């Protein structure tokens, strides 16, 4: 029987689908419109569509992996329902105190007022009891007070609760007892406790991460349960295909488990794209790349070095810090549906507001009235008058009327207005790419950019010029890279335990015991996911810092017994990593002591990845499928431009701009002065012509 794995990435406008036939190694891609009213409809329509392309029935599905933006969108939109917070008596103002950091500086304001907390002050309750930093009980847990608190929330209909007690990372007993009482007194409550969500010190970050977990749990659980229930239609002999959900850390988890760890999905969709692009770039021979995933609502960018996306635990989603392991992704509101608008000062702005899938851009003809990035591309002729190979026609005249109205308000001509919308969008994307490079001490010019997503490649020529990039790589079927990435992802769970100690006083036996406990938890999770013990893989890391520093540097802990030699090697690696990150270290200064902070284990269950094959050569030179007027610069107006169908381009094909390269789910406008070459894997590699580059820099 055939075995087909399906990856599905649900975006704001389209649902992307990739199927991998494990028997033949064939990969098939397609797209279908998203259905915001009930995302499960678009999800299942995508499965049906890709199975039809493979001439296969539902019995062939061996697994379904999904990237979801449910948690992300809820937090970005600030749609947090009534949420309660339970902490220690005397610490009820923890969320108000927070940290001193001010986002992006004070700007032009004399004062900065902290935004509203995720839990309003009147829904915070304290319970008596106290542990010290070692987890020892200082004051007993107040069971009567805990029951009164549980009833207080029950009587007010507050059914979503987060619990974070001081030092529960060292001893979860008080939190476990609080949860048990909540289940007895308030059985309808959805509860998240910090000792399960984030067993790590720093109370504010741990509390916020726990509350974010609680906030998204009801909606994500309903969404995943809906999808899982509908997948029952594809059951064979009573067996429903396994259903996995992408996590922010670059792994997947079964749907049955992910509802208990909803915080791990906050960057589910963008993480899959970064991983898919990383594999494609590494196969093509690029080891230092930036990824640029352009969708209908936003653009997500990240850094990949030596085939691995960089990870962080200092991420935020919307206004909410979430201290979980996640791929280091920066998101900017510069997608195809991002709206162009005029500020009170009379200047043109683009995003972050989006027209989404419904009503969408003006050119969709679904009632949209505000100009979007897609409308500007249509007006300039850079994308065809249809999407998905003709499945979705676009109203070019309506887009032109919208641009004309916006241009009149700005006092500019139509082409300059449309070009201005795209120029602002390109700079928004470029600034996001600078955030993941320049702000982290990396030179953006040392990287190759990989663009994907339905809109990700539309502005690549401008990004080359703005950032001084060497080249841009556009994979085949770029609109489906995120869905493809879902098929390359191992099952992965991350566990952390705070273990603060100076390196010169660290007990190897204590470290070994802590790592063994974390490994046991990780192994249990992999067993529950169906992986045999001989398939388990474990990655050890540790967070270290110089004594007195506020933040840590993560280093890999090599395999082997934990002894004095291994601990010394980790300190050596810390010095090297600190220098690579910050430009200096204190390895030669014995007065600067090193401190261990956190121990981490990642439990990995490996899967079979699709193989990216070289394409057969010998194709005839590509010829245009047609021509159309395209405007690349407003001052030059529309010029007659050849249009190529990407599937006609074989390895070794070379095109010089101006040209338009179209395929089913994406378009690449190749500006004058740029060249696109097709490599052995059918990737487009776009560079500036040498002569043009020399003239620009002369």
What is the pLDDT at residue 556? 93
Which pLDDT value is given to residue 675? Answer: 96
d(CA 176, CA 615): 57
Which 3 state secondary structure label does DSSP give 645? Answer: strand
pLDDT at 26: 85
CATH code, residues 491-605: 3.30.1490
| pTM score, whole prediction | 0.81
Give the residue ranges of the chain where pLDDT is below 50.
105-110, 698
Q: Considering the chain, what percentage of its residues have pLDDT values greater than 90? A: 56
| Spatial CA neighbour of 450 closest among 674, 270, 683 | 683
Q: State the virtual CA torsion across 650, 654, 656, 659 in degrees, nearest 10.
A: 0
Residue ranges, comma separated, of all CATH 3.40.1360 domains in the chain are: 75-220
For residues 189 and 160, is the Cβ–Cβ distance under 8 A? yes
Residue intervals of the chain classified under CATH 3.30.1490 are 491-605
In 123-282, beta strands by DSSP E: 124-127, 130-131, 137-139, 160-163, 190-193, 243-246, 252-254
Structure token pair of residue 492: 């992965």
pLDDT at residue number 106: 46
Q: Are 8 and 15 in contact (CB under 8 A)?
A: yes
Q: How far is it, in rounded angstroms, from Cα 335 to Cα 318?
A: 17
For domain 75-220, give the fold: Dna Topoisomerase Vi A Subunit; Chain: A, domain 2 (3.40.1360)
pLDDT recorded at residue 109: 47
CATH class of the 268-326+425-474 domain in this structure: alpha beta
Q: In angstroms, what CA-CA distances link 207 with 55, 162, 201, 599?
A: 50, 8, 10, 20
Q: How far is CA 290 from CA 57, 305, 624, 679, in A?
A: 38, 9, 31, 19
What tokens were used for 667?
């378009």
Query: What stretch of H or E contains 682?
Result: none
What are the residue ranges of CATH 3.30.420.40 in the chain? Answer: 268-326+425-474
Alpha carbon distance 266, 286 (integer Å): 28
Distance of alpha carbon 266 from alpha carbon 214, whole angstroms? 12
Distance, CA of 298 to CA of 499 (rounded, Å):
39
Task: Identify the pLDDT of residue 100.
Answer: 67
Number of other residues whose CB lies within 10 A of the CB of residue 648: 16
Tell me, what's the pLDDT at 524? 92
């Amino acid at each position: 029987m055939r075995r087909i794995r399906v990856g599905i990435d649900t975006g704001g406008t389209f649902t992307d689908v990739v199927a991998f036939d494990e028997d033949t190694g064939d990969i098939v891609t397609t797209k279908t419109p998203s259905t915001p009213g009930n995302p499960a409809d678009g999800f299942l329509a995508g499965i049906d569509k890709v199975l039809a392309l493979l001439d296969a029935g539902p019995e062939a599905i061996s697994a379904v992996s999904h990237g979801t933006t449910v948690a992300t969108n809820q937090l970005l939109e600030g749609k947090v329902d009534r949420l309660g917070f339970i902490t220690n008596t005397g610490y009820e103002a923890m969320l108000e105190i927070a940290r001193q950091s001010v986002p992006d500086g004070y700007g032009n304001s004399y004062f900065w007022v902290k935004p509203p907390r995720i839990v309003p002050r009147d829904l915070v309750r304290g319970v008596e009891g106290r542990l010290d930093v070692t987890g020892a009980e200082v004051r007993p847990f107040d069971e009567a007070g805990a029951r009164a608190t549980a009833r207080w929330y029950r009587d007010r209909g507050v059914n979503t609760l987060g619990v974070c007690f001081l030092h529960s990372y060292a001893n979860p007993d008080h939190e476990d007892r609080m949860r048990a009482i909540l289940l007895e007194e308030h059985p309808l409550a959805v509860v998240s406790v910090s000792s399960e969500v984030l067993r790590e010190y720093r109370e504010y970050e741990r509390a916020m991460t726990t509350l974010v977990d609680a906030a998204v749990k009801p909606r994500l659980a309903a969404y995943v349960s809906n999808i899982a229930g509908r997948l029952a239609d594809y059951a064979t002999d009573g067996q429903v295909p396994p259903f996995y959900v992408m996590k922010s850390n670059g792994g997947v988890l079964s749907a049955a488990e992910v509802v208990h760890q909803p915080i791990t999905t906050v960057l589910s969709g963008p993480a899959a794209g970064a991983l898919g692009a990383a594999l494609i770039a590494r196969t093509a021979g690029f080891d230092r790349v930036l990824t640029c995933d352009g969708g209908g609502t936003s653009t997500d960018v990240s850094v990949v070095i030596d085939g691995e996306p960089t990870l962080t635990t200092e991420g935020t989603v919307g206004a909410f810090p979430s201290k979980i392991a996640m791929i280091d992704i920066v998101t900017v509101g510069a997608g195809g549906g991002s709206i162009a608008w005029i500020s009170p000062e009379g200047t043109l702005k683009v995003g972050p507001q989006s027209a989404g899938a419904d009503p969408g851009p003006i050119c969709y003809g679904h009632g949209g009235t505000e100009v979007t990035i897609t409308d500007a591309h249509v007006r300039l002729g850079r994308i065809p008058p249809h999407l998905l190979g003709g499945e979705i026609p676009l109203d070019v005249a309506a887009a032109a009327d919208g641009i004309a109205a916006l241009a009149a308000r700005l006092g500019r001509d139509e082409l300059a207005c449309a070009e201005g919308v795209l120029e602002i969008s390109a700079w928004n994307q470029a600034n996001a790419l600078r955030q993941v490079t320049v702000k982290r001490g990396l030179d953006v010019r040392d990287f190759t950019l990989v663009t994907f997503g339905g809109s990700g490649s539309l502005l690549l020529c401008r990004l080359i010029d703005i950032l001084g990039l060497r080249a841009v790589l556009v994979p085949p079927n770029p609109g489906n890279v995120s869905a493809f990435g879902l098929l390359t992802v191992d099952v992965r769970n991350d566990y952390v335990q705070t273990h603060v100690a100076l390196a010169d006083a660290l007990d190897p036996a204590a470290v070994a015991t802590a790592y063994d406990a974390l490994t046991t938890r990780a192994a249990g999770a992999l067993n529950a996911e169906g992986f045999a013990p001989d398939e388990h893989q474990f990655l050890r890391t540790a967070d270290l810092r110089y004594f007195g520093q506020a933040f840590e540097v993560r280093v890999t802990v090599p395999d082997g017994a934990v002894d004095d030699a291994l601990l010394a090697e980790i300190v050596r690696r810390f010095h090297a990593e600190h220098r690579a990150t910050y430009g200096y270290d204190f390895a030669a200064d014995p007065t600067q002591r090193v401190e261990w902070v956190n121990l981490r284990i990642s439990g990995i269950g490996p899967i079979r990845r699709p193989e990216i094959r070289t394409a057969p050569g010998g194709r005839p030179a590509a010829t245009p499928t047609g021509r159309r007027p395209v405007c690349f610069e407003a001052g030059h107006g529309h010029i007659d431009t050849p249009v190529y169908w990407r599937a006609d381009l074989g390895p070794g094909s070379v095109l010089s701009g101006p040209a338009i390269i179209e395929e089913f789910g994406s378009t690449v406008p190749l500006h004058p002065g740029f060249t696109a070459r097709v490599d052995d894997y059918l990737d487009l590699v776009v560079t500036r012509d040498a002569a043009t580059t020399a003239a620009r820099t002369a």
